[in-house]
Every structure is written in structure tokens, then in C-alpha cells.
């Protein structure tokens, strides 16, 4: 499912309670992160809940790094938020990840107005970590 499909799904949900339940369902479908990867190196700083993000870097056809992510949390709603962020960024070239803002998507699906400030800060910490990993992959590849 693409991020546009996800935005479409949210557009059919009229109230925030339905959207909230959908976010939790997205989290239930999230690929599990092995317990051994729940490490300090994978922990996302700035989140109220425990959040871990593992980054995998591969080379695309043109030699540019392509990043995929696996994430996990100890909170159901946060697992759903991770699923949304991964739909936006995982499997994309590092240069696209580094320059793609998340806020327009968060606004389209209503996250910007319905999350607590703490959850919103954590969501932005996840995006910041993903974009920092993309920038690092570009630098390692000599692209930055």
C-alpha cells in the first residue's frame, strides 16, 4: 500500500475515533522488529514511548542508497504511527527521503491536529532520525 492509498483510506474515515482505530490497526500489521534489535543503537530519542528503528541500506540500480526500515514500539498507537512513517519513507532512495517533508501528509490525514504535543514531537523525532539516516547513507556513498 502506498502513502497515497493510505491518505485515501483516511479520507473515508469521518471522525477521529475511526482514524485512531485505523492507526492502531496499521500498527498491528507492522512487521515485528526482533527483540534483539530493541537496543540503544536503534532507539529513537525524543519519543515518550519506547521506539526502535532499524535501518537497512542497499544500493539501487543507479548506485544510490535505498533505505528500508523496520520499527517497533511498546505503545499500540505509536506502532501505527511508525507504520505511517514507514509507508512514507521505506524503500525509497536516500535523496528522496532526505528532501521529502512529512508534515503535508500528517496534515492530510489529520495527525497534526489530533495528536498530543508529546506524540507529535515523537513522530517528528522518528522522521528526523529517518532523514538523518538518509543523509548519512548519501554521505557514505559520496553522493552528499
Q: Is the pLDDT of residue 51 over 80?
A: yes
pLDDT at 115 over 90: no
**Closest Cα partner for 11 from 78, 109, 144, 121?**
109
> pLDDT digit string (tens) for 55-67?
999 998 888 999 9
pLDDT at 33 over 80: yes
Rounded to an integer, the average pLDDT of 80-86 is 95
- Give the domain CATH number at 136: 3.90.1010.10
pLDDT the model gives residue 144: 54
Where in the sequence is the domain holding 89, given as residue range(s)?
Answer: 3-140
Nearest to 66 by CA among 21, 97, 43, 39: 97
* 9-31 pLDDT, tens digit each: 988 988 889 999 999 999 999 98
Which residues in 13-141 belong to E strands, given as ranges?
51-59, 65-73, 92-93
Q: How many domains does the chain have?
A: 1
Indicate the average pLDDT of the chain.
91
Q: Is 71 exposed, middle or buried (0-12, 13-18, 19+ CB in 10 A)?
A: buried
Catalytic site positions: 47
* Residue 135: its H or E element: helix 117-140
Amino acid at each position: 500500500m502506498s502513502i497515497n492509498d493510505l491518505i485515501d483510506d483516511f479520507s473515508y474515515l469521518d471522525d477521529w475515533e475511526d482514524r485512531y482505530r485505523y492507526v492502531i490497526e496499521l500498527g498491528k500489521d507492522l512487521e515485528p522488529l526482533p527483540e534483539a534489535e530493541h537496543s540503544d543503537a536503534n532507539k529513537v530519542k525524543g519519543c515518550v514511548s519506547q521506539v526502535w528503528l532499524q535501518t537497512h541500506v542497499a544500493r539501487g540500480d543507479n548506485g544510490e542508497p535505498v533505505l528500508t526500515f523496520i520499527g517497533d514500539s511498546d505503545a499500540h498507537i505509536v506502532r501505527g504511527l511508525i507504520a505511517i512513517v514507514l509507508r512514507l519513507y521505506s524503500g525509497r532512495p536516500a535523496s528522496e527521503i532526505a528532501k521529502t517533508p512529512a508534515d503535508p501528509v500528517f496534515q492530510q490525514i489529520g495527525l497534526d491536529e489530533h495528536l498530543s504535543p508529546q506524540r507529535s514531537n515523537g513522530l517528528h523525532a522518528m522522521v528526523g532520525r529517518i532523514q538523518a539516516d538518509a543523509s548519512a547513507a548519501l554521505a557514505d556513498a559520496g553522493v552528499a
